[in-house]
Each structure stands twice: as C-alpha cells, then as structure tokens.
Amino acid sequence: MKVTIFGTGYVGLVTGTCLADMGHHVMCVDIDEQKITNLRNGVIPIYEPGLESLVKTNVANGQLCFTASAEEGVAHAEIQFIAVGTPPDEDGSADLKYVLAVARSIASHMQSHKVIVNKSTVPVGTADKVSALVSQVLAARSSTLGFDVVSNPEFLKEGAAVNDCMKPDRIVIGSQSAHAISVMKELYAPFNRNHDRMIVMDVRSSELTKYAANCMLATKISFMNEMANLAERLGADIEQVRLGIGSDPRIGYHFIYPGCGYGGSCFPKDVQALIQTADSIGFDSAILKAVETINERQKSVLVNRVQQHFGADLHGKTFALWGLSFKPNTDDMREAPARVVMEALWLAGAKVQAFDPEAMEETQRIYGQRADLVLCGTKEAALKDADALIICTEWKNFRAPDFDSLKQTLRHAVIFDGRNLYDPDVVRRYGFTYYAIGRGD
Ligand code: UGA
C-alpha cells in the first residue's frame, strides 16, 4: 500500500520506516527542508538503536522517500498519517496548531478520498476537530470529496522504538467507518500475523486510551516513589518491597522501579494534558495531580540529600554526574531529572562534571559554555577531583564500576544514587557513604 506520513520526528520517522520495511511505499513529509535533505542522505536527526540502518536500507530499495512538499505527500497515498508534535501550551494542554496545520494542508491539496490518521498524541475530541476543519476547507473549495479521520495512537518507547513498532503489544484503531477500518487492517496486516493485536473502538475511546496508558504508567512510578519515601522514613528497603509486591501478578514487576523521577517527552506532558482536559470539563483529577506533584518533588530528592550531607551552600564543591538523558539508550534530555539536579547544584554554587554515553552534545546544545559545567569524555574523567558522585540515569555502563579506584579518585567516598544501581552492603563495604532511593542511609 502507499502511505504518507506528515512529521519526521520520533513517531513519524519510526512508524514510516517500519511500514516501509514491511513492504509499504512510504513518503514522509516535513516542512524542514534541511531535515529532508539529511534524511535522504541517511542522516538521522535522533539517536534510536537500529533506526539509521533501517532508514538507509529502505531508502536504497525505494520503499521509503522524503519530501518537503505537502502537495506531493497528499497526492502520494489515500492514507495520510498526521505524526507531528503536540507541544504543551503554557497551561499544560496539548497545542494542536501543527496537527491542524497538516489537516488543513491535506484538505487543501486532496484530489481523492483520504483516510486521515491521527498518530500524534492528541486530546480527546481532536479527531472531531480535524474532521470539522477538513470539511470546512473542502466546502470552501466547493469540493464534495469524502474522507475519514481515524485515531491510531502510538505506544513506542524511546530506545526500543523500532522493536515496539515492529512487534506491537496492541494496535489501537479508533474509527466507526467500515472503509477506514478495512484500510487500517490491511495496512497493519504484516504486524498482526501470529495473533490478532488489533483493537478497534470508537474514536474518543482510542484517543483516551493513549493518555490512560501513559498516565497509568506514570501513576505506577509516582506510587513507588511515594512508597520509597515512606520506606526510607520507616527503616524499610524499597527494593525488597518492590520484589515483594511485584510477585503478585495483579501488580507485576514492570514499571515499579523507584528513582529520581520520570522524565521524557511523554509522561510529564501527557499527565499535564489530561489534567488540563479534566479541568476544562470541570472535573478535578485528584490522582493525576498527585502523580505530577510527587514526580516534581522526587526530582529534588537527590539534591536535598546532597545538601543534607554537604550543607546548603555548595560553593567550592564539585560533583561528578553520571547520566544526563531521561533514561538509558537515548540522548533525549526533555524533562530529564538530571537537569533539575544540575540546575539546583548550580544554584547552590556547585560545579558539575558530567558524563553521559549519548547525551553530551544535547547537554552542550541546551546549556552552552558555562564555567560551572565540565562535559567529560569518560565516566572516570568526571570523577577527577569531584567531591562526590551523583547518578541520575541507569546506563548499563554505570552498573559495575571499579569501586576501589572510584574511592581513590573522589575527594569524599560518597555516592548519591538516583536509580538504585548498587547493593548497599557492597558499596558500604568498600567504605562509601551511599544514599539511594528508599533504602535508608
Ligand atoms: C513512554 C511509554 O512507556 C510508551 O509506552 C509510550 O508510547 C511513550 O511514552 C509515548 O507516549 O510516546 P518513553 O517516554 O520513551 O515511553 O519512556 P519510558 O521508558 O516509559 O520511561 C519514562 C520515564 O519513567 C523515564 O524517566 C524512566 O526513568 C522512568 N521510569 C520508568 C521509572 O522511574 N521507573 C520505572 O519503573 C519505569
């Protein structure tokens, strides 16, 4: 089948590439001409394992192409995906300007029936807004062309996006049009071979499914962080508690890792957007507000610990910081806990020597040159002359450090671990003061 995808960001590029790899003819459209030129040359704007080679292969074999021309994109296929960003507005609600601009563009250029698929994470009711806009533009053109608007949320995880896209847990399709449903079934048939993963529902339920999924996951994390804070104060070890509750299949082991807060481009934004949606219809979403408050608080836990140990004024102190991205296997620093930690350290007068396996360029881009930030080439270099080590991201490479040399290099044998990477007994045996999350001192 032929498919057009508007937006070559994370979602659009991964989805388009995977559809192409399954044999569809995919055209990706973006208004950023430089990005299009780069993509044609196999230069990928994001770090995502496996994506670059898949893009290159599918471009080379003619399954995948890129254009900056919306007109060309609209003409290419009946199926038109909208996969552009929905950044948060000032009040936290999702800003639909890019989604609606694409809808307008499709409506202005279309010369035949279109199935318009919302892949972006959009508030409940957006498909209706897209429909109304397309109808309005077509009416202004005196056109009687038909179209369907389908909701098809994505559930990709950064760092595992290609795999998630190729082997989805579920494919949610929100539509009540028999034609659109059959088109979507044919499109996703290659991903749906061994057992049926397709769940067809009405558009609004599909739109809410996306938010409900992310908000549920964020809730699990904030719940565990709350338990961690309690455990710490009650003399319990959250890691034991985690195993104890995860063994109940109704709870499960997934996504109950306490830490220094969740970040990324999805959870913080989606929780805020659903709070806004609830507020806008006069409903007080007490759970989601608590989830957000707890997460904000959690991002400060490490620095609070640092200040309890070294005092509120950190002038003259230097901290080694391992892990800048919001999670491993990505260079994405959006809403990353490390940013809150770093900025609070600076505010208190400290200097930071940071290392991350992938996010160094991104850190440089965000913070530029500053006297109180040194970006180090290795995790060992970050330790040199530092007063203590702070860990914000659980990269594999941080899991088994040489504790002896770590102790020799740091000025004080103190570790603040925001991801519970080590066995407290082992680290303490090496002579460290070890602060983790929910594990006592
Ligand atoms: C998330 C969802 O997991 C995907 O299913 C969804 O499709 C995606 O958002 C989206 O809406 O696009 P992602 O933001 O890539 O994916 O990252 P996650 O792997 O979910 O991690 C989010 C944050 O939660 C990270 O900061 C991670 O460190 C934190 N986390 C995760 C914990 O603190 N504890 C856990 O047990 C799990």
DSSP states along 37-60: HHHHTT--SS--TTHHHHHHHHHH
Distance 267 CA to ligand 1 centre (A): 7
Contact indicator for 5, 12 with CB cutoff of 8 Å: yes
Per-residue pLDDT at 93: 83
For the Cβ of 395 lying below 6 angstroms from any atom of ligand 1, the answer is no
Within 10 A of 374 (CB to CB), how many other CB atoms are there?
17
Per-residue pLDDT at 158: 87
Instruction: Point out the ligand 1 atom lying closest to the alpha carbon of residue 11.
Output: 12
Q: How far apart are CA 192 and CA 50, in angstroms?
A: 21
For the Cβ of 432 lying below 6 angstroms from any atom of ligand 1, the answer is no
Cβ-proximal residues to 40 (8 Å cutoff; 6+ apart), any chain: 59, 65, 66
> Which domains can be identified in the chain, with CATH numbers?
2-201 (3.40.50.720), 211-297 (1.10.1040.10), 299-435 (3.40.50.720)
Q: Give the SS3 label for residue 64.
A: strand
Residue 429's identity, in one-letter code, is: R
Which candidate, 94, 78, 83, 79, places its Cα nearest to that of 30? 83
Name which residue sits closest to atom 18 of ligand 1, judged by CA. 157
CA gyration radius, the chain: 24
Distance 276 CA to ligand 1 centre (A): 21
Distance 121 CA to ligand 1 centre (A): 15
ipTM score of complex? 0.94
For the Cβ of 267 lying below 6 angstroms from any atom of ligand 1, the answer is yes
Contact indicator for 20, 206 with CB cutoff of 8 Å: no
Per-residue pLDDT at 91: 84
Per-residue pLDDT at 97: 95
For the Cβ of 266 lying below 6 angstroms from any atom of ligand 1, the answer is yes
Per-residue pLDDT at 128: 97
Name which residue sits closest to atom 10 of ligand 1, judged by CA. 266
For the Cβ of 214 lying below 6 angstroms from any atom of ligand 1, the answer is yes
Contact indicator for 8, 85 with CB cutoff of 8 Å: no
Distance 220 CA to ligand 1 centre (A): 11
Which candidate, 40, 44, 45, 38, places its Cα nearest to that of 60? 40
Per-residue pLDDT at 341: 98
Per-residue pLDDT at 88: 83
Strand stretches in 300-402, DSSP E: 318-322, 351-355, 373-375, 388-391
**What angle do the packed helices 51-60 and 33-40 form, to 10 degrees?**
80
List, by residue number, the catalytic residues.
266
Name which residue sits closest to atom 28 of ligand 1, judged by CA. 327
Per-residue pLDDT at 369: 95
In the numeric block, the tokens 């790899």 are attached to 21
For the Cβ of 228 lying below 6 angstroms from any atom of ligand 1, the answer is no
Task: Choose the residue to mutate in 15, 47, 84, 156 for probing ligand 1, maximizing ligand atoms within 8 Å of C-beta.
Answer: 156
Per-residue pLDDT at 87: 87
Within 10 A of 266 (CB to CB), how many other CB atoms are there?
23
In the numeric block, the tokens 């160094």 are attached to 360
For the Cβ of 217 lying below 6 angstroms from any atom of ligand 1, the answer is yes
Contact indicator for 4, 29 with CB cutoff of 8 Å: yes
In the numeric block, the tokens 């250029």 are attached to 109
Per-residue pLDDT at 177: 97
Distance 211 CA to ligand 1 centre (A): 13
Mean pLDDT, the chain cut into blocks of 10 residues (441 residues total): 96 97 97 95 89 95 97 98 91 90 98 97 95 98 97 93 94 97 97 91 97 98 98 96 97 97 95 95 97 98 97 98 96 96 98 97 96 97 98 97 96 98 96 95 70
Distance 311 CA to ligand 1 centre (A): 33
User: How far is the CA of 86 from the CAs of 7, 56, 276, 326, 388, in angstroms?
Assistant: 11, 28, 14, 19, 39
